[in-house]
Amino acid sequence: MSDKAINALAKTHNKQKRKIRRSFGDYVISFITYVVYAIFAFVCLFPFYYIIINSISANNLSEKGKVIFYPMEIHFTNYKNLANIPGLTQAAYISVMRTVIGTTLTVIVAAFLGYMFTRETMWKRKFWYRFVVATMYFNAGVIPWYLTMRLLGLTNNFWGYIFPMIVQPFYIILCKTYCESVPKELQEAGEIDGAGTLRIFFSIMLPVIKPILATIAVFAAVAHWNSFQDTLLLMTDEKLFTLQFQLYQYINKASSLKALVNTNASASSMAAILAQSATATSIRMTVTVVVVLPVMMIYPFFQRFFTKGIMIGAVKG
């Protein structure tokens, strides 16, 4: 088809679009839709906004509940004073290492098992796939899980955060379904060239299934970052406490922590002391921002993979 013909078809299509007129009912429906979504977005975003403005506002005003829609007497002393809280830096290090290592291993294992379950040459493929999926529906409970972890020596052990979350059936199902949508000719071409299973997986499949891997990476990272129950059950060594678990403790001990922070705080006037001296509310708000902010920063970079990754990975055919 020539360029002239393509341009003519494009002009015709544009004219047809212009002829479509929207009725008054269409405008009403659109207006209602925008209003509903705007309200929903406000309800979702306002709690984060509220926490942030209270963490940077005058602490005495925040304690009294006067900071609601906009920050008042902005200062960043609360974030500087976090260094006075013992164990916070170590907890942040543990959380970051857990998230990075745990997410990497979870994604690799989910991708590899999902790929292997699509290969007919795998020994007892259907049995192992059903065995993995069955673990989604049957759970022994917390006490047997704890006893198993203790027998394996994973209490007060950093790897107690990693090993139980490596094999995730839901992620494996997503990867398997996504791999099934990849043309088999790609794998057959690799086999003709003499590539083995691992070479096909790393050189051919991994680059092709990036959307679902990015989606799984976000899910796994958020799960690792937000988890604190395993710390409560497995860890008694404070050096292995995660940031989320510290947040849980700080919320319960905020009143005593404010005295610890205020002992090292300094100001030039009484007004500044009242505005910047830590309170139970300022401690809660500031630590919450520090814990939540990394997750909020990750989502925008991976948002474009969500729709494609979930839809292709969840629907077969």
**pLDDT number for residue 7:** 59
**pLDDT number for residue 316:** 45
In the chain, the amino acid numbered 303 is Q
Nearest to 51 by CA among 35, 37, 62, 61: 62
pTM listed for this prediction: 0.70
**pLDDT number for residue 259:** 52
Per-residue pLDDT tens listing for the chain (317 residues): 555 555 555 555 555 555 556 777 778 888 899 999 999 988 888 888 888 888 777 777 777 777 778 777 777 777 777 766 677 778 888 888 999 999 999 999 998 988 888 887 788 888 888 888 888 887 778 888 888 888 988 888 889 889 988 888 888 888 888 888 877 777 778 778 777 778 888 888 888 888 888 888 888 888 888 888 888 888 888 888 888 887 777 766 655 555 555 555 444 443 444 344 566 677 777 777 877 777 777 777 666 665 554 445 444 44
Identify whether the C-beta of residue 227 lies closer than 8 Å to the C-beta of residue 244.
Answer: yes
Other beta carbons less than 10 A from residue 259's beta carbon: 10
Domains identified in the chain and CATH numbers: 3-85+253-314 (no CATH), 88-240 (1.10.3720.10)
CB-side exposure of 247: number of CA atoms within 13 Å? Answer: 19
**pLDDT number for residue 38:** 92
**pLDDT number for residue 219:** 86
CA pair distance 85, 144, nearest whole angstrom: 35
Three-class SS string for the chain?
A: CCHHHHHHHHHHHHHHHHHCCCCHHHHHHHHHHHHHHHHHHHHHHHHHHHHHHHHCCCHHHHHCCCCCCCCCCCCCHHHHHHHHCCCHHHHHHHHHHHHHHHHHHHHHHHHHHHHHCCCCCCCCHHHHHHHHHHCCCCCCCHHHHHHHHHHCCCCCCHHHCCHHHCCCHHHHHHHHHHHHCCCHHHHHHHHHCCCCHHHHHHHHHHHHCHHHHHHHHHHHHHHHHHCCHHHHHHCCCHHHCCHHHHHHHHHHCHHHHHHHHHCCCCCCCHHHHHHHCCCHHHHHHHHHHHHHHHHHHHHHHHHHHHHHHHHHHHCCC
